[in-house]
Chain A
Amino acid sequence: GENVEQHPSTLSVQEGDSAVIKCTYSDSASNYFPWYKQELGKRPQLIIDIRSNVGEKKDQRIAVTLNKTAKHFSLHITETQPEDSAVYFCAASTGTYKYIFGTGTRLKVLA
């Protein structure tokens, strides 16, 4: 079955700097890759997603890149702000719509 690895597990950056989180997946049939942000004790919120027919997608300060050949995708947050501090999860999905989540990255933006 699908396996998703996520790195790093924790990441601290200075406010204004960029943050990059990387995920790799094992199932070449995976075709949808969402990223979720979860604050403590709250529900995961979708922040950006990408499909396998696209190499890059951007939404303001957030971008996601996908390398299908290498089976990895990355989240890029530019100009980080304290409110970006949270746990970020990547996920991979095949046509069954099931998500397999990565292990999460705890991002801390230092003011």
Chain B
Amino acid sequence: GAVVSQHPSRVICKSGTSVKIECRSLDFQATTMFWYRQFPKQSLMLMATSNEGSKATYEQGVEKDKFLINHASLTLSTLTVTSAHPEDSSFYICSARDPLAGPQETQYFGPGTRLLVL
């Protein structure tokens, strides 16, 4: 149980274009999902908290107009990187809580999406 998927696993795009990343909870409903960014050999940095049916909560320093988050259903959250630039190249990982199973605090992570902006 508590499986989280992400799509795509890898994406290469040109500078200035937008890229959408999907995060799905496959066998549970997730009212809350989280989006992280991880640069090479660094830690996971929380970007935003995605709440089903409401606006996402962004961490300090994260541009909400650049990183658009939509959580339209209990099993899907999307992150759109708008007008991507080379410095946005990173590993983007989502996670989800399963409020009905196990510890309330546990987050289950997706496999990540590696974004390369040329």
> CB within 8 Å of B: which of A48-79?
49, 51
A44: which B residues are within 8 A, CB to CB?
A: 44, 93, 109
The SS class assigned to the A binding surface is: strand
B34 contacts A by Cβ under 8 Å: yes
Q: Which of A42, A93, A104 contacts B42 (CB 8 A)?
A: A104
A36: which B residues are within 8 A, CB to CB?
A: 109
Q: Bound state CA distance, A42 and B113, in angstroms?
A: 10
Asked whether, in the complex, the Cβ of B32 is within 8 Å of the Cβ of A97, the reply is: yes
Instruction: Given A98-B46, A99-B34, A104-B42, check contact A43 B109 (CB 8 Å).
Output: yes
The range of chain B's interface size is 20 to 34
Instruction: Given A42-B111, A97-B97, A98-B49, check contact A89 B44 (CB 8 Å).
Output: yes
**Chain A 24-59 interface 0/1 with B at a Cβ cutoff of 8 Å (1 = within):** 000000001010100001111110010100000000
29 A-B contacts (beta carbon < 8 Å): A32-B105, A34-B105, A34-B106, A36-B109, A41-B114, A42-B112, A43-B93, A43-B109, A43-B111, A43-B112, A46-B106, A93-B105, A97-B32, A97-B97, A97-B104, A97-B105, A97-B107, A98-B34, A98-B49, A99-B34, A99-B44, A99-B107, A100-B46, A101-B43, A101-B45, A101-B46, A102-B43, A103-B43, A104-B43
